[in-house]
Structure 1
Amino acid sequence: MDNRFSNIFNLTEDQAIALLKKPLNTEDGTSERYVGAAHLINFPTERSINALIEAIEDRDPALENRIARRKALESLGRLKAVRALPTLRACLSDEDVLTVENAVWSIGEIGTEDESILEEIANLLGKPNQTYRVIIHTLANFDYKPAIDRIKPFTNYDEESVVSAAISSLARLTEDNSQMGRVVEFLQNDNINARRACIQDLIDVEYYPAISAIAKAPISIAFRLRGIRLLAAKGIGKGKITFGDIESSLDRIIRDRPQDIEMVHEYDQLPSLEFLIRELYHTDFGRCYLAGKTILETYPAQAPEALLKTYAEEAHNDYGAHFHVVKLLGLLKHKSSYDLIVEALHNDSPQFQKSRAAAAIALGNIHEIRAIPILKETLNTPIFDLKYASLLALEQLGESCWSEVANDQNLLIKAKANYKLS
């Protein structure tokens, strides 16, 4: 679990418990109780677990209390507090749907061999307006086969992410992958949440035929890279696939060129450059990739100035647009942006992590020889995509460094190096 932001307020255990127990009628009681519940994940003690259980058992219907209870449920799951299972189970019949969702998720995190609890979770599939995706996933993770017939109707539900979860969970429970092509098709769905969700489902089923489709999907590189890394690690580890089977897909994701993406959106008429620049700020990366592709194809001469302008005004502080601007300057081979790209390579703020690998690739694309020593320095990083991107960029600049990482701790970098050296 990534705990970088788990205690941003630097609270002690006593302070977090005190916040959780704040009376509801105090000013800002809503956020304070929630913050207390959230921060107790930093303290895996009996006192913290007791305080979280006590918070959940306070059934005051006020919104601020419901919000705190939901967070307390999640924190108990993250703490894997087995002792809290009876309390979590009691929440499965709660009238608040989000409370039920968090109770189901937390039971999944803690684990149980009590089939009566699993049967209660399965029965939630017959209740209206539940968060069915979480329920279905949890049942599949427990390999609870008695739920199969109750999951089947959701393969034709009206919410794509639920359909994806149902199909993939049935594949896991029945060991029949014949319907998984429908899940792969969600990679090209209009709904961004469906595109993102189905990647997790493909990982869960270990559906290796989806790897090339994941590489080309109009989804953020973070989702695609996580998908292919987990699938590759499982597949190679089990001898189901070889690195050669996934190399081109992995390279395609790391290079992340808009022209390699299968678009889900289209323009009915050619947009202005100004419109396309604004699209780079969109949260749907499918729209960002379409804008980037159109910029490269239609406005290559005017684009560098426009990109540098938006970088100076906004993109330097917007991690999504920052990533796309850095990448596009490299694809446009804009050598004058060398210093900006090097600065992006060295930006170690967590939210700008994607831009570092994009900057490495951009340095290779603008073919600046003076970047070689800088890229070689980054080979000491533990960050997978940055190291892999730097190795690709160095190769593009005429420097093969694969022998230096032939024994790398990361499975895929080691596999790539040995594949290149064989």
Structure 2
Amino acid sequence: MSERFDTLFAGMSEETAMETLLKPPAELKNPGLKYLAATRLGACQSPESLQRLLAAGANDSDDLYERITRRKALEALGRRKDRSALPVLLAALQADDEPTVVNAADAIARLSTPLNKEEQTALLQALQGPDNQRRAVLQAFCRLGMNDASGQIDRCRNDSNPLVAGAAHAYAIRVLGDQQGLHPLVEQLRDDNPGRRRAAVIDLGDAGRIEALAALIRCPVSMPLRAKSAFQMATRQTGAVDPDATDLLKELLQDDPRQLNLDGIPETAAEPEAIKEGLQHRDEARQYAAAKALMAMPRAAQLDQIDALRSSLGSDYGVHYLLASCTGLLELHERSDLVRDALAETAPQYAKSRIAGAWSCLRLQLRDQTSLLEEVGRSHPWQPLQWSCREVALLLS
């Protein structure tokens, strides 16, 4: 997801980032600029910036700032997708810093090139570590489509930690063609723990089986996370979206809280303070429950609540998104300016609000937005937003 935020770092030039990245922290007034520089270079293309990232990725200093910079450099190397980074990434798997190993494994997966036997063995050795590290190794094998002849990954399907077992199930489904793992992953979508629900959504995306799409779209975790996995499941090898998935994708992207599986989630009272508090909850399911409560209020109260929330929490990314979504779902023509603003918002952190704005344009029949919808549908790199705008523009024409 970090690519969506590249514009936030555009103020630092490539030259400044290269100069900053390898400076000792003590020589910088703000040592945090080092890991900002690493993130910046992940969006660059020059051989010189790649060499700086390789050097930072190989730096095994115990200094905290250097450790964080190394993690960011490894992540950036994954984004660069240059196989020459592989030796540095494999060496980083031996670090005693769990986030470093996780980022190295993630970056190896992003290279999109299967490993030879020796390289696979080095990756498998990282299974001997904390659970987050083990999960990253399992995901790398799954995403690279590599068959583990040693059987170590298959044994992880019985792990007591569902985050480890889930990643192993995804591997078995995608690489070995064993569909038995679908059932426990679908069941985990209903887990009381939001982290486990999110993990199940990710694992189902890695598994890539369209049969689980109907269950996935109703899981109360963030829409962008569900959308990423849903498009993985629905996109054919040709790059085209499976026509059988179109209606489910539309349902997901319109994201009606009333259609989500909120069983077991405490109901939010249809009262202003309760809704305001719920919309700011860390668990997305509680946010959706609050949005559902707003949708149950009388129309005049809905308008007042939206106005109050827009005034007090309008810059909160999650609240901004849910207000743009609810305005369309409730067909509140009186607040169509909110929808137009959401669709026009180009700051990357509001990209999901643009999806809400697009589908709200359809419900409110805002045909004056067709040109913008067509433009975003042609040019935006994020598939869920691009696809939404194309679909809405077609339906409005």
The TM-score normalised by the length of structure 1 is: 0.80
Matched letter for residue 342 of structure 1: R
Aligned to 1:95: 96
Say how many residue pairs are matched. Answer: 387
Which of the two has higher C-alpha Rg?
1
Aligned to 1:253: 252
Aligned to 2:68: 67
Q: Could you tell me which of 378, 381, 390 is aligned with 2:373?
A: 378
Structure 1 residue matching 2:235: 3-state secondary structure:
helix
Matched letter for residue 389 of structure 2: L
**Structure 1 residues 331 and 139 mapped into 2: Cα distance closer, same or farther (>3 Å)?**
closer
**Structure 1 residues 216 and 304 mapped into 2: Cα distance closer, same or farther (>3 Å)?**
same
**Structure 1 residues 379 and 145 mapped into 2: Cα distance closer, same or farther (>3 Å)?**
closer
Cα shift at 1:211: 1.4
Aligned to 2:152: 150
Is this contact kept in 2: 1:89–1:103, CA < 8 A? Answer: yes
Matched letter for residue 322 of structure 1: H
Aligned to 1:167: 169
Aligned to 2:183: 181
Q: 1:91-240 residue pairs with structure 2 within 5 A?
A: 91-110=92-111, 111=113, 113-128=115-130, 131-146=133-148, 149-234=151-236, 237=238
Structure 2 residue matching 1:248: 3-state secondary structure:
helix
**Structure 1 residues 142 and 257 mapped into 2: Cα distance closer, same or farther (>3 Å)?**
closer
Matched letter for residue 260 of structure 2: I
Quick one: distance in 1 between partners of 2:202 and 2:141? 15
Is this contact kept in 2: 1:215–1:249, CA < 8 A? Answer: yes
Cα shift at 1:115: 1.1
Cα shift at 1:176: 0.9
Q: 1:298-377 residue pairs with structure 2 within 5 A?
A: 298-315=297-314, 317-365=315-363, 371-375=366-370
Matched letter for residue 206 of structure 2: D
**Structure 1 residues 276 and 115 mapped into 2: Cα distance closer, same or farther (>3 Å)?**
same
Query: What RMSD in Å do the two structures reach over aligned CA positions?
Result: 3.0
Cα shift at 1:249: 1.3
Matched letter for residue 107 of structure 1: I
Is this contact kept in 2: 1:74–1:103, CA < 8 A? Answer: yes
Cα shift at 1:218: 1.1
Deviations 1:126-169 (A, max 9, x none): 33456111100112234443356212343243443322111111
Cα shift at 1:300: 4.5
Cα shift at 1:273: 3.2
Deviations 1:40-76 (A, max 9, x none): 3344444333333333444321111111222222233
Matched letter for residue 358 of structure 1: A
Quick one: distance in 1 between partners of 2:195 and 2:71? 22
Which ranges of structure 2 fall in alignment gaps of 5 or more residues?
Answer: 378-385
Structure 2 residue matching 1:179: 3-state secondary structure:
helix
Matched letter for residue 31 of structure 1: G
**Structure 1 residues 263 and 5 mapped into 2: Cα distance closer, same or farther (>3 Å)?**
same
**Structure 1 residues 95 and 227 mapped into 2: Cα distance closer, same or farther (>3 Å)?**
closer
Aligned to 1:292: 291
Is this contact kept in 2: 1:164–1:183, CA < 8 A? Answer: yes
Is this contact kept in 1: 2:268–2:274, CA < 8 A? Answer: no
Quick one: distance in 2 between partners of 1:205 and 1:141? 9
**Structure 1 residues 372 and 43 mapped into 2: Cα distance closer, same or farther (>3 Å)?**
closer
**Structure 1 residues 361 and 145 mapped into 2: Cα distance closer, same or farther (>3 Å)?**
closer
**Structure 1 residues 40 and 268 mapped into 2: Cα distance closer, same or farther (>3 Å)?**
closer
**Structure 1 residues 124 and 147 mapped into 2: Cα distance closer, same or farther (>3 Å)?**
farther
**Structure 1 residues 310 and 131 mapped into 2: Cα distance closer, same or farther (>3 Å)?**
same
Aligned to 2:383: none
Deviations 1:229-269 (A, max 9, x none): 3322217x599x952x3233123123322211111443268
Deviations 1:85-129 (A, max 9, x none): 333322222211222222222333333543112112112223345
Matched letter for residue 208 of structure 1: I
Structure 1 residue matching 2:189: 3-state secondary structure:
helix
Quick one: distance in 2 between partners of 1:295 and 1:325? 10
Matched letter for residue 151 of structure 1: I
Quick one: distance in 1 between partners of 2:90 and 2:355? 44
Quick one: distance in 1 between partners of 2:358 and 2:13? 40
Quick one: distance in 1 between partners of 2:143 and 2:175? 9
Structure 2 residue matching 1:302: 3-state secondary structure:
helix
**Does 1:263 pair with 2:262?**
yes
**Structure 1 residues 265 and 24 mapped into 2: Cα distance closer, same or farther (>3 Å)?**
same
Is this contact kept in 1: 2:267–2:289, CA < 8 A? Answer: no
Quick one: distance in 2 between partners of 1:12 and 1:134? 32
Structure 2 residue matching 1:25: 3-state secondary structure:
helix
Quick one: distance in 2 between partners of 1:362 and 1:27? 47
Cα shift at 1:12: 4.0
Quick one: distance in 1 between partners of 2:358 and 2:132? 45
Comparing 87-96 with 374-383, which one deviates more in the overlay? 374-383
Cα shift at 1:286: 1.5
